[in-house]
Amino acid sequence: MLRLMQQSIGGIDRRSFLKVSAGSGFALGAFPLGAQTPAAGGALKPNQQPSAFVSIDADGTVTVTIGKIDIGQGVQTSLPLIVAEEMDAHWSKMRCKLAPAGEAYKDPLFQIQMVGGSTTTKNSWMQYREIGARMRAMLMGAASKRFGVPAGQLKTESGFVIAPDGRRASYGELASAALAEPVPATVQLKSPQQFKLIGKPTGRLDARDKSSGRQQFGMDVRLPGMRTVVMVHPPVFGAKVARFDAARAKAIAGVEDVYQVPLAGGATGLAIAADGFWPARTAREVMHVEWDTSGLEKADSDALLARYRELAAQPGMRATTADTSALASAPQKITAEYTFPYLAHTPMEPLNCTIDYRGDQCTVWVGSQFQTIDQAAVASVLGLKPEQVTFNTMMAGGGFGRRATGTSDYVFEAAQVAKARYAAGRREPMKMVWTREDDVRGGYYRPMHLHRVEIGHDGKGKVLAWKHMIVGQSITMGGPFEPFVVKNGVDSTLTEGVAESAYPFPIALEVHQPKVNVPVLWWRSVGHSHNAFVMETLVDELAYAGGLDPVAYRRSLLREHRRHLAALDLAVEQSGYGKTRLAAGRAWGVAVHESFDSVVAYVVEASMRGDQPVLHRVTAAVHCNLAVNPRTIEAQVQGGMVMGLGTTLPGARITLKDGVVQQSNWHDYRLATHGHMPPQVSVHIVPSADPPTGIGEPSVPPIAPAIANAVAALTGKRIRSLPFEA
Amino acid sequence: MISFRLNGKPQDVDVPGDTPVLWVLRDTVGLTGTKFGCGIAVCGACTVHVDGRQRRACVTPVSSIAGRELTTIEAIGDDKVGRAVQDAWVRHDVVQCGYCQSGQVMAAVALLKANKRPTDADIDRAMSANLCRCGTYARIHAAVKDAAKAIA
């Protein structure tokens, strides 16, 4: 999501970014945005100091404290891997810890502590290498004194410094002396040819703990005397509590009290505190609450679709310009309308936040993707300075964007409950736990979209004109990211993947960004999650219309884009496309798409069972430059493929009626299951030594269109909506 | 007071009988390896074994397990099949966020105890009741097959 933000930052002047203000959450201000290089005089920034990131025990255990949250994407392993490489540490000695909110842990580019936009490895690559190399230099400095040998004559290997005469000192022995060594400003980094760990498939550091129930997530925080808080959220976004009767709720054993609190977005809600989840949850069932929904738009998906369709017929904001005059005279035309629903992230771990508020200080435990922003939100609610809020980053049971909100919605909410309880004289710590129903109905969805596309072409693959309209809510307008994402009135997360498509089509793109009373958010791969579907199914349709092979057609269009070609060619080669004869009733489907600076290509093999496709085989190829940990990359592609496949399944949608979300849990908001996995899935990585690019999101967008293209090959029917119709 | 055996040891809890086993484990006993995901028995994150058979702890009233043997993820590694499954999970680097994996492991153990040589279709059927939002299914599938081989 934030790739565009980075581009914008680069494009503007790299001068300022978010500044957190105590009043209302954030404001823009002068937040210096410098490059990673040390300032004159060799002064290093906090995020360049090894002491903030590396600690070495006497037994040689090396713990890397990472400034990034691991939401499953594997940076808890790949960042220590990068440090270990430059340190020449032994991999079996490496451990990882998630850093609390802190100056040293701010992203060097974003200047806030956050995870998003598949940027972690990309932005941390040089930073963590340099930290590892600095640590190594300091260990060598300590060894130099011990051995009486100039540091230049020492070498390092697998956790030892070795003198020319064969004397060895372990990193554990040298650790305390090394910390007293000066921190070098500049360090020599390895060349990719010297890498021993980077590039080698490496198992996750948390594999055992997460396979045995030992991993502690935010949900698992337990403190003495802690209360559990279950919320009563409004049925319509923005509604306020009109009146409520908590008598029956409070009669339930274990219930402490019920508090009315402000929620993000101007709503109010109720918080039921109890000595455990179950009494609080039971109390919610018997609460009588009346809501004030006056003046609120009550969103309705069907009505919204009709409104979007009307909007699509009217001129919108211009995103890209091109001559469309050939539309009228083109020998052939494609006119297509595409629709995409709201989608909820539904990470497996329901949202939760634990707070121990003591009046003049506060400690928070939460799986946040936006530590700096969420810490400031808590401070603002409680009237504290951010540094008075100790903000612990917990391992998160999935995120997919949901833990990265500009409004800090659920963290803000927990802070409001902490404030209300404190005002009522309650001093015990509390853990707010959302139920799955709170999550599914809680908004912050991938927006609903409608595309209308008119293409004039010559019937031989040549596009003469392309008029494209996208209708959908802006994710960022009105929030802290607007200045970096919205250009000339157009939210670039709405147009990404069309506006800068690698295909050399003369696309005239316009948008409508209606305001709707449904909170929206980035959802793994953001705008690409719908835009890739439109682009890749239309390209396929153009190939068929021209009697051209869909792979050959794409290759001819992408001839200037070597990374696209490399990924596409690798997937095609590994799949046997064009060489293998498929069984009767089966067909290929192909798609390739770039997002977050990486390219993913899929070749799928599918058949039809009734009116739904069945996948037999998926071959994926990815170009994400240098593969830091190929095993993680494979996992991210496998997982993104499942998430994208899930968007095709009937039932994979959030709908609203009279302002109320109609789904409530996974029985009516469908995800892909184990049984949806094709029997054969393979992931191939294009070799590269260039600095790494994103991998958390790029595998999501191209899978749904690859499947739709296989369906078109099998049935002749072009699918124009996600999920596929039941 | 409700009495049952928890991971091989006697356990008494003083809670209303309709309290789900999930919350007895997490809030009363303090074992947090069993996860809350949906609360309506559709995701499997809370999978435990009662007398060796898998149950969804989020909808199992604690009164219904009085006198029975409850096994959770914390102790499944003491079991030969449980250990084999966990080892296969590590070998195959299955986990991503890991939140569903306690339940996945418990479901896989239950499958392998009932069916030592599951086919691909058996695994698909048995494991489809456990959701994973990260999409680790391919590796879960491979790990279950590998664990089956290890205990054969």
| Test the B interface: residue of A212, A281, A439, A665 with most B CBs within 10 Å | A212
Give SS3 for A637. Answer: helix
Strands B2-6 vs B69-71: parallel, antiparallel or unpaired: parallel
Do B138 and A638 count as a contact with CB atoms less than 8 A apart?
yes
Q: Are A71 and A403 in contact (CB under 8 A)?
A: yes
Q: Does A198 touch chain B (CB under 8 A)?
A: no
Q: How far is the C-alpha of B115 from the C-alpha of A23, rounded, in Å? A: 61
Q: Does B6 touch chain A (CB under 8 A)?
A: no
Structure confidence at residue A42 as a pLDDT band (50, 70, 90): low
pLDDT at A638: 98
Q: Report B:115-134 residues touching A (Cβ under 8 A).
A: 120, 123-125, 127-134
Q: Please state the φ and ψ torsions of residue A680, each to the nearest 5 degrees.
A: -125, 120
AA identity, residue A652:
A
Do B141 and A211 count as a contact with CB atoms less than 8 A apart?
no
Give SS3 for A685. Answer: strand
Q: Would you say residue A720 lies in a domain? A: no
Give SS3 for A657. Answer: strand
Portion of chain A with pLDDT greater than 90, in percent: 93
pLDDT at A15 over 70: no
- Domain that residue A123 falls in: 38-209
Beta-carbon contacts of residue A201 (< 8 Å; ≥ 6 apart): A629, A630, A631, A634
Nearest CA to A286 out of A331, A250, A320, A316 is that of: A250
Q: Are A574 and A621 in contact (CB under 8 A)?
A: yes
Q: Does A504 touch chain B (CB under 8 A)?
A: no
Q: At what angle do helices B137-151 and B120-127 cross, to 10 degrees?
A: 120
Structure confidence at residue B65 as a pLDDT band (50, 70, 90): very high
| Test the A interface: residue of B23, B25, B72, B97 with most A CBs within 10 Å | B97
The residue-averaged pLDDT of B107-135 equals: 98
- Residue A55 shares a structural domain with residue A154: yes
Q: Would you say residue A665 lies in a domain? A: yes
Name the closest residue on chain A to residue B128, using Cα atoms: A674
Strands A680-685 vs A612-623: parallel, antiparallel or unpaired: parallel
pLDDT, tens digit, 9 for 90 and up, residues A592-616: 999 999 999 999 999 999 999 999 9
pLDDT, tens digit, 9 for 90 and up, residues A169-228: 999 999 999 999 999 999 999 999 999 999 999 999 999 999 999 999 999 999 999 999
Q: Which residues of B touch A219 (CB under 8 A)?
A: 32, 35-36
Which of B74, B89, B124 faces A674 most closely, judged by CB atoms?
B124
Do A210 and B19 count as a contact with CB atoms less than 8 A apart?
no
Tokens of A389: 């809020």
Q: Does A635 touch chain B (CB under 8 A)?
A: yes
Q: Are A686 and A566 in contact (CB under 8 A)?
A: yes
Q: Are A598 and A168 in contact (CB under 8 A)?
A: no
pLDDT at A726: 61
Q: Does A276 touch chain B (CB under 8 A)?
A: yes
AA identity, residue A301:
S
Q: Which residues of A touch B125 (CB under 8 A)?
A: 675
Min Cα separation A19/chain B (Å): 30
Min Cα separation B74/chain A (Å): 6
pLDDT, tens digit, 9 for 90 and up, residues B90-101: 999 999 999 999
Min Cα separation B137/chain A (Å): 5
| Test the A interface: residue of B43, B92, B120, B137 with most A CBs within 10 Å | B137
| Test the A interface: residue of B134, B140, B146 with most A CBs within 10 Å | B134
- Residue A236 shares a structural domain with residue A205: no
The residue among A433, A457, A474 that closes a domain is A433
pLDDT at A661 over 50: yes
pLDDT at A531: 98
- Residue A585 shares a structural domain with residue A698: yes
Name the closest residue on chain B to residue A637, using Cα atoms: B135
Tokens of A129: 């290498």
Q: Which residues of A touch B41 (CB under 8 A)?
A: none
Q: Would you say residue A554 lies in a domain? A: yes
Task: Kindly provide the b/e burial profile for residues B61-72, where b requires at least 16 CB atoms within 10 angstroms of the residue's own CB.
Answer: ebeebeeeebbb
CA dihedral A481, A482, A485, A487 (to 10 degrees): -160
Name the closest residue on chain B to residue A674, using Cα atoms: B128
Min Cα separation A204/chain B (Å): 6
Assign residue A19 a region (left: φ > 0; alpha: ψ between -120 and 50; beta: otherwise).
beta
Q: Which residues of B touch A399 (CB under 8 A)?
A: 97
Min Cα separation A464/chain B (Å): 41
Min Cα separation B108/chain A (Å): 12
User: Is A150 exposed, middle or buried (CB count within 10 Å of its CB: 0-12, 13-18, 19+)?
Assistant: exposed
- Residue A672 shares a structural domain with residue A710: yes
Look over chain A and give the mean of its residue pLDDT values, rounded to a whole number: 94
Name the closest residue on chain A to residue B27, using Cα atoms: A276
For CA atoms A398, A401, A404, A405, give the dihedral sign.
negative
Structure confidence at residue A725 as a pLDDT band (50, 70, 90): confident
pLDDT, tens digit, 9 for 90 and up, residues A384-424: 999 999 999 999 999 999 999 999 999 999 999 999 999 99
pLDDT at A582: 96
Sheet holding A332-340, edge to edge: A317-320, A507-512, A463-472, A449-457, A332-340
Beta-carbon contacts of residue A680 (< 8 Å; ≥ 6 apart): A616, A617, A618
Q: How far is the C-alpha of A587 from the C-alpha of A713, rounded, in Å? A: 6
pLDDT, tens digit, 9 for 90 and up, residues A80-113: 999 999 999 999 999 999 999 999 999 999 999 9
Q: Which residues of A touch B26 (CB under 8 A)?
A: 220, 277
Gyration radius of chain A over CA positions: 27
Nearest CA to A460 out of A545, A385, A519 is that of: A545
Q: Would you say residue A260 lies in a domain? A: yes
Q: Would you say residue A304 lies in a domain? A: no
Min Cα separation B65/chain A (Å): 17
- Residue A390 shares a structural domain with residue A268: yes
Do A398 and B141 count as a contact with CB atoms less than 8 A apart?
no
Beta-carbon contacts of residue A330 (< 8 Å; ≥ 6 apart): A456, A457, A458, A464, A465
- Residue A404 shares a structural domain with residue A337: no
What domains are there in chain B, each with its CATH number?
Answer: 2-75 (3.10.20.30), 77-151 (1.10.150.120)
pLDDT, tens digit, 9 for 90 and up, residues A311-357: 999 999 999 999 999 999 999 999 999 999 999 999 999 999 999 99
The residue among A388, A414, A433 that closes a domain is A433
CA dihedral B70, B76, B81, B87 (to 10 degrees): 160
CB contacts < 8 Å between A and B, how many? Answer: 183
H or E segment and range at residue A26: strand A25-28
Q: How far is the C-alpha of A639 from the C-alpha of A633, rounded, in Å? A: 10
Q: How far is the C-alpha of A207 from the C-alpha of B96, rounded, in Å? A: 8
Q: Report A:53-92 residues touching B (Cβ under 8 A).
A: 70-74
The residue among A209, A242, A268 that closes a domain is A209
Q: What's the gap between Cα A2 and its chain centre?
A: 9
- Residue A385 shares a structural domain with residue A463: no
Q: How far is the C-alpha of B14 from the C-alpha of B30, rounded, in Å? A: 14
DSSP A122: H
Give SS3 for A499. Answer: coil
pLDDT at B119 over 90: yes
pLDDT at A43: 84
Nearest CA to B107 out of B64, B45, B65 is that of: B45
Counted domains in chain A:
4
Name the closest residue on chain A to residue B78, using Cα atoms: A212
To which residue do tokens 């794409």 refer? Answer: A554
Structure confidence at residue A32 as a pLDDT band (50, 70, 90): very low
The secondary structure of A266-291 as a DSSP string is G-EEEEEEESSHHHHHHHHHT-EEEE
Q: Are A274 and A280 in contact (CB under 8 A)?
A: yes
- Residue A648 shares a structural domain with residue A512: yes
Do B90 and A211 count as a contact with CB atoms less than 8 A apart?
yes
The number of CA neighbours under 13 Å toward the Cβ of A471 is 24
Q: How far is the C-alpha of B80 from the C-alpha of A553, rounded, in Å? A: 55
Q: Are A453 and A469 in contact (CB under 8 A)?
A: yes
Q: Would you say residue A305 lies in a domain? A: no
Q: How far is the C-alpha of A701 from the C-alpha of A332, rounded, in Å? A: 28
Q: How far is the C-alpha of A538 from the C-alpha of A709, rounded, in Å? A: 9
Tokens of A543: 């190939």
Which of A74, A211, A433 faces B89 most closely, judged by CB atoms?
A211
- Residue A411 shares a structural domain with residue A271: yes
Min Cα separation A614/chain B (Å): 14
Min Cα separation A650/chain B (Å): 17
pLDDT at A222: 98
| Test the B interface: residue of A73, A92, A200, A278 with most B CBs within 10 Å | A278
Query: ipTM beyond 0.85?
Result: yes
User: Is A493 exposed, middle or buried (CB count within 10 Å of its CB: 0-12, 13-18, 19+)?
Assistant: buried
- Residue A360 shares a structural domain with residue A489: no
The residue-averaged pLDDT of A249-271 equals: 97
Give SS3 for B19. Answer: coil
- Residue A229 shares a structural domain with residue A198: no
Q: Are B135 and B101 in contact (CB under 8 A)?
A: no
Query: Cis link prior to A108 (omega < 30° from 0)?
Result: no
Tokens of A413: 């909410």
Min Cα separation B104/chain A (Å): 9
Beta-carbon contacts of residue A407 (< 8 Å; ≥ 6 apart): A25, A264, A265, A377, A479, A519
Which of B15, B99, B139 faces A398 most closely, judged by CB atoms?
B99
Do A436 and B74 count as a contact with CB atoms less than 8 A apart?
no
Q: Please state the φ and ψ torsions of residue B71, each to the nearest 5 degrees.
A: -120, 135
Q: What's the gap between Cα A51 and its chain centre?
A: 28
Q: Would you say residue A493 lies in a domain? A: yes
The residue-averaged pLDDT of A656-668 equals: 98
Q: How far is the C-alpha of A201 from the C-alpha of A73, rounded, in Å? A: 15
pLDDT, tens digit, 9 for 90 and up, residues A486-533: 999 999 999 999 999 999 999 999 999 999 999 999 999 999 999 999
Which of B28, B30, B90 faces A208 most closely, judged by CB atoms?
B90
Beta-carbon contacts of residue A462 (< 8 Å; ≥ 6 apart): A546
Q: How far is the C-alpha of B76 from the C-alpha of A425, rounded, in Å? A: 43
Q: Does B111 touch chain A (CB under 8 A)?
A: no
Q: Would you say residue A300 lies in a domain? A: no
Q: How far is the C-alpha of A48 from the C-alpha of A52, rounded, in Å? A: 8
Residue A639: CATH number of its domain = 3.30.365.10
Do A210 and B101 count as a contact with CB atoms less than 8 A apart?
yes
Beta-carbon contacts of residue A230 (< 8 Å; ≥ 6 apart): A271, A272, A274, A277, A280, A281, A283, A284, A432, A433, A435
Q: Which of A16-20, A186-190, A516-520, A647-651 has the lowest mean pLDDT?
A: A16-20
| Test the A interface: residue of B25, B58, B96, B109 with most A CBs within 10 Å | B96
CA dihedral A634, A636, A638, A639 (to 10 degrees): 160
Q: How far is the C-alpha of A634 from the C-alpha of A620, rounded, in Å? A: 9
- Residue A261 shares a structural domain with residue A123: no
